[in-house]
């Protein structure tokens, strides 16, 4: 089957009328965070943030392995929109209620409705998706791209492969394989006038204002 026949993009401008879109990733700065503070927010939950955000509006994962390993929980989640991206090399069959984009490379912004750049990480892909859906103000949570002082790469226990082996990250994973792609989104962000706030003052992603999470939530 041709990949185009598998694609099912989200409704255009889905987030255009949303005042603030919160994108929740996996960085260790969210360790100990009370995720229920986001219950009344419009959230895109990335990967394991799905399990902390029962009221999430959109669920996003970039890796078919993640769906295979957590299918039961994802299928049972009440989010109205469950979304992923695929490559021409993936053969997984998703349920009909899963929205699907085609990954068209790492960097930049894809103007085509059914295509999405992935930035080699789910945080980039989810941000690119929110821009495609018309989000005007975006707050990033857990976009750390660094280890914390206890040498932890995520707020959760990390990700595992099909054999149960932990997928290892190094500082170079973040600095060389993920972070560099974000600058390729800046021209589109500026063109559309999208406001982005990174709710971690210590994040290595410094392309947009970095703020204290508690202050951001109090103000928004």
Q: Topology of domain 3-219, per CATH?
A: sialyltransferase cstii, chain A (3.90.1480)
| Tens-digit pLDDT profile for residues 164-218 | 666 577 778 777 788 999 999 999 999 999 999 999 999 999 999 999 999 999 9
pLDDT value, residue 105 = 94
Buried b vs exposed e over 76-88: b needs ≥16 C-beta within 10 Å? ebebebbbbbbee
- Global confidence as pTM: 0.91
Q: How confident is the model at residue 149 (pLDDT cuts 50, 70, 90)?
A: low
Burial of 96 (0-12, 13-18, 19+ CB in 10 A): exposed
Calpha distance 12→108 (Å, rounded): 20
Query: Which residues, at least 6 apart from 50, have a Cβ–Cβ distance to it below 8 Å?
Result: 56, 59, 61, 70, 73, 74, 77, 79
pLDDT value, residue 88 = 76
CB-CB contact of 200 with 143 (8 Å) = yes
């Amino acid at each position: 089957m041709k990949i185009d026949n598998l694609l099912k993009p989200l409704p255009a401008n889905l987030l255009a009328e949303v005042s603030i879109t919160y994108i929740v990733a996996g960085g260790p700065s969210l360790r100990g965070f009370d995720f229920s503070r986001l219950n009344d927010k419009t959230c895109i939950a990335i990967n394991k943030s799905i399990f902390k955000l029962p009221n999430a509006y959109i669920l996003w994962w970039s890796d078919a392995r993640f769906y295979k390993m957590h299918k039961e929980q994802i299928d049972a989640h009440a989010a109205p929109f469950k979304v992923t991206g695929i490559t021409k090399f993936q053969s997984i069959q998703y349920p009909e209620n899963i929205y699907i984009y085609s990954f068209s490379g790492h960097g930049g912004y894809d103007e085509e409705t059914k295509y999405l750049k992935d930035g080699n990480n789910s945080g980039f892909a989810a941000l690119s998706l929110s821009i495609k859906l018309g989000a005007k103000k975006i707050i990033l949570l857990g976009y750390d791209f660094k280890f914390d002082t206890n040498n932890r790469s995520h707020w959760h226990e990390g990700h595992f492969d099909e054999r149960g082996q932990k997928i290892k990250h190094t500082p170079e994973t973040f600095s060389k394989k993920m972070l560099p792609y974000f600058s390729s989104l800046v021209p589109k962000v500026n063109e559309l006038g999208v406001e982005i706030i990174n709710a971690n003052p210590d994040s290595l992603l410094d392309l947009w204002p970095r703020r204290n999470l508690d202050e951001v939530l109090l103000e928004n």
